[in-house]
Amino acid sequence: MSEAKVQTRILQWLKDNDYWVFKTIACNRSGIMDIVGCSPSGQFVGIEVKFGANKASKLQSWNILEVASRGGIAFVAWSLEDVKNALKAK
């Protein structure tokens, strides 16, 4: 499996569960999460998708913390299960 396939599975699951989401392709701001959207209850969601041993960069981690500090949901995910677990906890 690749990072792109993990992203596709995550996006499909989110859409199937009534999240409004999109995959960022090009952005005018560095470090933005791969998947951005809104939960069914209206909460901002940002997911940085990684594959294998890859980790979030310092800038990606900073952006995740900024979103979380403002009450949004933001995290790094290596699998669909990571997403399900993170969103279940919110």
- What's the CATH number where 57 sits? 3.40.1350.10
Q: Give me the tens of pLDDT residue by residue for the chain, a chain 90 residues long.
A: 788 899 999 999 999 999 999 998 866 677 889 999 999 999 999 999 999 999 999 999 999 999 999 999 999 999 999 999 999 976
Q: Looking at the 3D structure of the chain, how many domains does it have? A: 1
User: Angle 80-88/3-16 helices, nearest 10 degrees?
Assistant: 40
Q: Which helix (H) or strand (E) holds 84?
A: helix 80-88
- pTM for the whole structure: 0.91
Rounded CA Rg of the chain: 12
> What helix, strand, coil percent values describe the chain, rounded to 5?
40, 20, 40
Q: What pLDDT is attached to residue 28? A: 65
Which of the 8 DSSP states describes residue 35?
Answer: E
Per the structure, the complete domain to which residue 10 belongs is given by 3-88
Amino acid sitting at position 68 = A
